[in-house]
Amino acid sequence: MKLSKLFPWLVGAVALACVFLALLPSGKVRGFDVAGFGSLPVLEGGRVKPMDSVARNSLLMIRGQQSFRDGGKTLSADEWLMDLMFRPQVADQQPVFRIDDPDVLGLIGLKQSSNRYFSFQTLGPHLEEIQKQAQAAQPIEAQKRTRFQGAVVNLFDRVYLYYKLRNTMQLAGTPGLAFELQTLGAPDAAQRHADLAQIAQFRPLPPLPGQSPDAWQSTGEGLRAADAGTVHPALSLYAQASLAYASGDAQGFNSAVKALEARVASERPEFVSHADHEVLFNRAQPFYLGMLLYVMALIVVFVSWAWKPEILRPSAFALLCVGAFVHTAGLIFRIVLQGRPPVTNLYSSAVFVGWGAVILGLILERLYKNGFGTAVATAAGFASLIVAQHLGTDGDTMEMMRAVLDSNFWLATHVVTITIGYSGTFLAGAIAIGYTIRKHLVADPDPETTRSLVSMAYGIICFALFFSFVGTVLGGIWADQSWGRFWGWDPKENGALLIVLWNAIILHARWAGYVRERGLMAMAIFGNVMTSLSWFGVNMLGVGLHSYGFMDKAFWALSTFIATQVVLMGLCLLPPLRGRGHRPA
């Protein structure tokens, strides 16, 4: 077999092998079975999840990362959570709070420097002032807060989450959970147990035999029941784990963790199975890996246009295929874990939009085989997963559904269909951006390739119009069933209609001869603006039945994106900056 045919297969095989290596569990940390502790199921936010998900989501919200370096070593989210719950005096010295706002830094007596991460111990003397400023800003609508007010509220929310986790398993500053079990019924114990029950972030005690699957308890609730004579068997095991971890007894800790897992597995095996699967999903990080693979494929396809196209172009396609495989596997895994269709919130919509664009790009590459399908697919996949990464910092991405959206049928029809329409519109815009860049960078663009790009964009716009129209109609039927009216001029409904109308306007302008090659592409780029406003703009407004919270962090990102698209439209309409270019057909 020739090298040009063998090499892409080798590239794809190596990429796939690297993906499977990510599934391997990490070893023990200082002898402690951190992975075993992370797989223990708990109830948080209305759903059962592994301790690993609690740790990852919490650290992501507080620090913006799922691991960090401290004192020359890297701490995983699970190890950080164990320190926080069982060795708070150690966790309080770890730099987990990111603070960028200069006024907030001034509030805690710090100057701006290259250091952006601070410990709970550093914030401790200023917590009262932070709380005071946050409470003053909280009554103000999010849209109307100043930069400082938004930053201080955000810091207070993160500090409060930290404080709740710190006091979930046992009250920080007390002898610990074992002491609480030894002093059941003591005069001062009842208040401590009530405090534990009130402040707990999650419930680690599984339902007892015969109880409802939702009858999870926090340690505080378990201790209150123990005061009344009913001692939950998992309490003593968590107490053993706490004592062993704090004293450095790895064997005792591992023994307690295994006993906890065995107890839950014997009584509620479905909880253990679900937690194990979610831990595997967390470890694999399919969307992060997919993002890396898309970047690699994009770089390779760019290089292929200047050097060794017969080898590198198929290699880029192979990397795209592996990235699409990982992306698809992650999407399916999320569907199984949630028991829901693929689109349930903004995060999952970003993942799905990228996936749809990648699949369409794969089809285009197989049809035209010129590398542009690979380029636009990888660019769209990478961009959408970057958006998803940023949306994921807000907490659990598999959160419980809002009541208005709690319908698997309509999520699988209206939401999925209209999101496919988003994917198509964005992909057409990405093709048009590629056309624009190529027009100005290539001195003598090949007319056949130019016609192929225009044909790609045209076909994808037709595809997007169909799905956005059907999705909008299905949304109206769902609205009629849920709210008693088919159409209410809600901002989200208006946005969906604008996407349909804009795609229809592009096609009619082309059919009537009002636009030709450059005009079609410029209008396709503006489709990105229309779709981004419908997708995220509703959340900027903070009004309407489809608005689920103002996203102040996304405002400037959305504004910058729209500005870049307007600039690209102008470049698309300008004559080529290099060479004569190709005269529109």
Q: What is the dihedral of CA 135, 138, 144, 148, to 10 degrees?
A: 50
Is the pLDDT confidence value at 68 over 90?
A: yes
Q: Is residue 329 part of a domain?
A: no
pLDDT (tens digit per residue) in 136-185: 999 998 878 999 999 999 999 999 999 999 999 999 989 999 999 999 98
Instruction: Quote the DSSP letter at residue 139.
Output: T
Q: Please say which residue of 216, 245, 270 terminates a domain.
A: 270
Q: Please report whether residue 81 resides in a domain.
A: yes
Q: Please choose, from the candidates 52, 42, 41, 118, the residue with its C-alpha nearest in 3D space to the C-alpha of residue 81.
A: 52
Q: Identify which of 477, 493, 353 has the alpha carbon closest to the alpha carbon of residue 427.
A: 353
Please tell me which of 113-117, 422-426, 577-581 the model is most confident about, judged by mean pLDDT: 422-426
Q: What is the pLDDT of residue 393?
A: 84
Q: CA of 467: how far to CAs of 125, 224, 536, in Å?
A: 56, 55, 19
User: Confidence band (pLDDT; 50, 70, 90) for 584?
Assistant: very low
pLDDT at 128 over 90: yes
Structural domain total, the chain: 2
Q: Which two tokens stand for residue 76?
A: 């995983």
Question: What percentage of the chain exceeds 70 in pLDDT?
Answer: 94
Last residue of a domain, one of 209, 240, 270: 270
Host domain of residue 86? 31-270
The mean of the pLDDT values for the chain is 91
580 in any annotated domain: no
Asked whether residue 291 is assigned to any structural domain, the reply reads: no
Q: Give the whole-angstrom CA distance, residue 580 versus residue 585.
A: 14
- What pLDDT, in 10s, does the model give residues 430-484? 999 999 999 998 888 889 999 999 999 999 999 999 999 999 999 999 888 878 8
The predicted pLDDT at position 491 comes to: 85
If 0-12 CB within 10 Å is exposed, 13-18 middle and 19+ buried, where does residue 153 land?
buried
Q: Is 110 exposed, middle or buried (0-12, 13-18, 19+ CB in 10 A)?
A: middle
* Assigned domain for 299 exists: no
The verdict on residue 334 lying in a domain is no
Total-model pTM: 0.91
- CATH number for the domain spanning 508: value is 1.20.120
C-alpha 238/C-alpha 260 separation (Å) is: 8
Instruction: Please give the pLDDT value at position 367.
Output: 92
pLDDT, one tens digit per residue, over 199-226 is 999 999 999 988 999 999 999 999 999 9
Last residue of a domain, one of 213, 245, 270: 270
Count Cβ atoms within 10 A of the Cβ of residue 74 and give its class: 0-12 exposed, 13-18 middle, 19 or more buried: exposed
